[in-house]
Amino acid sequence: MFDATITSLREWFDLRSNEKEFRTALLPSRIDLSPPEKLQQTAPSIIFKENTFVELGHPSAGSCSLCAATLEHSLVDDGRLTMLGPDIPESQGKVLPFAQVVIGSCTKDAGEISLAMDRIIHTSSQMDGYMLRSVPNRVWARVSREAAGSGFSLEKLGSQLRNSLKDQCPGITGIEVFFVTRCKEDVAALEGIIQPAREELEQIQTYQRLPDGTYECTTGLDCTECPEKPVCDNIREIISIRKGDRIITFARDGSRPTQETAKPEEPEK
């Protein structure tokens, strides 16, 4: 479903792989972390401005985020972290732009897994010394002076996100993380790349999944008249969408959708 977006993201980062502030790291798994390095997930805490070491993704600096899953395992390099821009320890007193993209390989419904990843990421990002503000499709965060002094970094944040997803999201087989803190223009470029995937995720949320595995569209418009049709047509991993008494099946190879009459639901006994 999101393979084209993930491929475009990779191409964007590959083009910058020789630039000064580009670097990669291998994220340690939870069992590889020593006790002091295991970040503790906590209830949301307040970090006041005077105790802020660095601010990430302030609206004035720019921010974007995406969680996307794919059934194509070759598109995800499990455990890899890619960073472009300064890290937290070297950014005292700064307000940095922030892009956070997390991609995962999975064994089932990529759309449902992507939505689950987003929910898990939001809750698991609440850590001692890292305050996350709730902004749709954005990451706006503060890192406290104490956390920075204890060695908090993008690599440790990435490890926390990866391990939380591996622990809490059944069906995930691999997680790769991307962070960008270099400039507002980078964030804007990534925003343009991930927007189609975001629109598809928003469209999935308007459907209701039924017990037979189909997704019910509740809009009263015919598919040929609906303004959301281009987005629906791109949702190829959702095999069937129920529209009234019809089931519309999207082919994985991109061929023309087919329609059939839905079987009436049997009454409960």
Asked whether the predicted pLDDT for residue 207 surpasses 90, the reply is: no
159 and 224 together in one domain: no
Range of the domain at 90: 3-204
Q: What one-letter code names the amino acid at 80? A: R
The mean per-residue pLDDT over the stretch 35-55 comes to 73
In a domain, 266, yes or no: no
Band of pLDDT at residue 209, cut at 50, 70 and 90: low
pLDDT in tens, 69-115: 999 999 999 999 999 999 999 999 999 999 999 999 999 889 889 99
Q: Which two tokens stand for residue 25?
A: 């790291």
Give residue 127's pLDDT: 85
Give residue 174's pLDDT: 97
CATH number assigned to the domain comprising residue 143: 3.30.1650.10
H or E segment and range at residue 59: none
8-12, 53-57, 198-202 — which is least confidently predicted? 198-202
Range 221-226 contact pairs with CB under 8 angstroms and sequence separation of 24 or more: 223/248
248 and 184 together in one domain: no
218 and 117 together in one domain: no
25 and 98 together in one domain: yes
Q: Cα–Cα distance between 248 and 241 in angstroms, integer?
A: 5
pTM: 0.77
| Count of structural domains within the chain | 2
Q: Which of 212, 220, 223 is nearest to 248 (CA)?
A: 223
In a domain, 267, yes or no: no
174 and 244 together in one domain: no
